Amino acid sequence: MALKLYVDFDGTLTREDVGNQFFRTFGGDVCDSIVQEYHEGRISAVECFRRELRAAGRIPLKVLDEFLARQEMTPGVPGFFDYCRSTGIDVTVLSDGLDLYIHRLLERNGLHGARVYANRLTLSDLGDGTAVPALDFPHGCSECGVCACCKRNVLLTTSGEEDIVGYIGEGFSDRCAVEYADIVFAKDDLQRHCQEQNISYYCYSTFDDVVSRLQLILSRKRLRKRRRAEVKRREAFVCEA
């Protein structure tokens, strides 16, 4: 049995929510009210992103570089990726944020070639120090507008029946996916959600905590699936068949 780990990006691999700060930086305070509408369920995640992108307009590339230079990873992240590589744990970064800053920040921290599923942000350089941003959503779900990148679907389609599925997250966009995970690492909003929904989890603060816990888990003779998660994974395929 192989352990497959799915890891949220904003607020999990990074200290802050880079996506929210990106739109606030380039789109201004109006983005807060757009996000508020999203959290109240009045607009879909895709609509939220489209409106924030319109508010952002052209992106000054120097300001983008400065913005990215200020973003910090959560302590222990490089060691976590090293540990997973050396122990054969498959890691996927799974984000309802934007791939452009995810790749840039991972690479800046020496994490080249990480597998990332996220919404796609492309920049068309106008040659005058600015770029026009465009978004698309290659991992959207036609049935549900809660997220723009459906973490549940990615998790279901990239894990096999024999895999033990682990998930590390902290926020709203992780709530759906943890229902399908055998081993959950949660903090902040996601920790409260797991408590309310009776989903067993390990709390963590840094990725050093995650590695320590994984060492304990892997020292057991046999990894165990979480019954409710296993049933939900099976049901999802039955419903869609």
Residue 95 or 225: which CB sits closer to Mg ion? 95
Which CB, 140 or 171, lies closer to Mg ion?
Answer: 171
CB of 47 vs Mg ion, minimal distance in Å: 20
Q: Does 10 bind Mg ion (CB under 5 A)?
A: yes
Residues 168-187 that bind Mg ion (CB under 5 A): 171
- Where residue 123 falls (left for φ over 0; alpha for ψ -120 to 50; beta otherwise) is beta
**Maximum C-alpha span of the chain:** 60
Q: Centre a 10 Å sphere on the Cβ of residue 144 and count the other Cβ atoms it contains.
A: 13
Shortest reach from residue 190's CB to Mg ion, in Å: 8
C-alpha–C-alpha distance, residues 164 and 219, integer Å:
15
For Mg ion, which stretch binds (CB under 5 A), given 56-64, 111-119, 165-173, 220-228?
A: 165-173
Among 3, 6, 8, 26, binds Mg ion (CB under 5 A): 8
Interface with Mg ion, residue 140, by CB under 5 A: no
Q: Binding segment for Mg ion among 1-9, 22-30, 137-145, 217-225 (CB under 5 A)?
A: 1-9
Question: Min. distance of Cβ 89 from Mg ion in angstroms?
Answer: 20
Is residue 11 involved in binding Mg ion (CB under 5 A)? yes
Taking a C-beta distance cutoff of 8 angstroms, is the pair 46, 173 a contact? Answer: no
Would you say 133 or 171 has its CB closer to Mg ion? 171
Q: How far is the CB of 172 from Mg ion (least distance, A)?
A: 8
Q: Are 55 and 28 in contact (CB under 8 A)?
A: yes
Q: Which residue, 137 or 225, is less far from Mg ion as judged by CB?
A: 137
Our finding on whether 96 is near Mg ion (CB under 5 A) is no
Q: Tell me the number of residues near Mg ion by CB under 5 A.
A: 4
The owner of tokens 């026009």 is: 132
Question: Distance between CA 60 and CA 82 in Å, rounded?
Answer: 35
Identify the bridge partners of residue 119 per DSSP, sorted by sequence position.
Answer: 98
Beta strand segments in the chain, E = 3-7, 59-60, 90-98, 115-125, 130-136, 164-169, 183-186, 202-203
Q: Which residues contact 223 (CB under 8 A, 6 or more apart)?
A: 1, 3, 164, 182, 183, 217
Stretch that binds Mg ion, among 7-15, 47-55, 112-120, 148-156 (CB under 5 A): 7-15
Q: Which spans of this chain sit near Mg ion (rule: CB under 5 A)?
A: 8, 10-11, 171
